[in-house]
Amino acid sequence: MNSRENFFISLNQVNCRINDACQNCGRDPGEVKLMAVTKTHPAEAADWAVEAGLRHIGENRVQEAAAKRPEVRQAGGFWELIGPLQRNKARLALETVDRIQTVDRLKLVSALDRLCGEIGKESFPVLLQVNTAEDPAKHGCAIEEAEGLVEAIRSSEHLRLEGLMTIGELTEDPVRIRATFRRLRELRDRLERACGLKLPELSMGMTGDLELAIEEGSTLVRVGSALFGTRL
């Protein structure tokens, strides 16, 4: 992992990339939030991020997040689950993080809703993960399933849908990667019209493809290696 000093230098570079991308497409950099993805790194990583003013902390495994969060000294982080969620970890996830970005199937919607009722979460924020890369190996619902899931979340008692999340296609081809992000934005626009609700958050873009995601409308880029160095 990067040293603390290197983290702050890297953060500057990432912020420059975000600003340049915004400038290229005429967006206000204030519309794009930066999440620090701290998976595999110690609690210190989250401390540095929060100290630097980054609010969103991303973890992809529930148990790792549950072990790490109590060790963090800096208060004020908003922790988010960005990795696949099994139903047997749903309760721990709700008790550990502040938002779940990886809701992608009906059974998970009903399990989370029931558990929220049991543990007293009134209006728990979630994103719907959509597999816009149409990669069978990836998590996320199919584009055609999204509307049904949006309706299911909307009619749940305790979940609040704030937007959509996707992972860029695993390829070197920027045209194809960009297409994954564009499909998420277009889907969001269709869902807003079809369901008559607002889905403001578009979580897309990582270290390798954040510029493309920003140009296609990302409101939250999830960055790990560009901030903390390569993971072991």
Ligand X SMILES: *Cc1c(COP(=O)(O)O)cnc(C)c1O
Provide the binding-site residues for ligand X, judged by CB under 6 A: 37, 39, 60, 82-83, 167, 206-208, 222-226
CB of 93 to ligand X, least distance (A): 15
Residue 29 is which amino acid?
P
Q: Which is nearer to ligand X, 93 or 206 (CB)?
A: 206
Cβ neighbours for 151, distance < 8 A, ≥ 6 positions apart: 195
CB of 124 to ligand X, least distance (A): 19
Q: Which is nearer to ligand X, 44 or 113 (CB)?
A: 44
Q: Which is nearer to ligand X, 29 or 84 (CB)?
A: 84
Q: Which is nearer to ligand X, 22 or 213 (CB)?
A: 213
Helix (H) and strand (E) counts for the chain?
Answer: 9, 8
DSSP string over 146-188? HHHHHHHHHTSSSEEEEEEE----SSS-HHHHHHHHHHHHHHH
Phi first, then psi: what are they for 107, rounded to 5°? -60, -35
Phi first, then psi: what are they for 121, rounded to 5°? -95, 120
The CA distances from residue 190 to 58, 141, 229, in Å, are 28, 16, 38
Q: Which is nearer to ligand X, 49 or 158 (CB)?
A: 49
CB of 82 to ligand X, least distance (A): 4
CB of 196 to ligand X, least distance (A): 29
CB of 155 to ligand X, least distance (A): 27
CA–CA dist 149, 170 (Å, integer): 25
Cβ neighbours for 61, distance < 8 A, ≥ 6 positions apart: 39, 83
Q: Which is nearer to ligand X, 120 or 136 (CB)?
A: 136
CB of 38 to ligand X, least distance (A): 10
- State the residue number with the nearest CB to ligand X: 224
CA–CA dist 63, 59 (Å, integer): 10
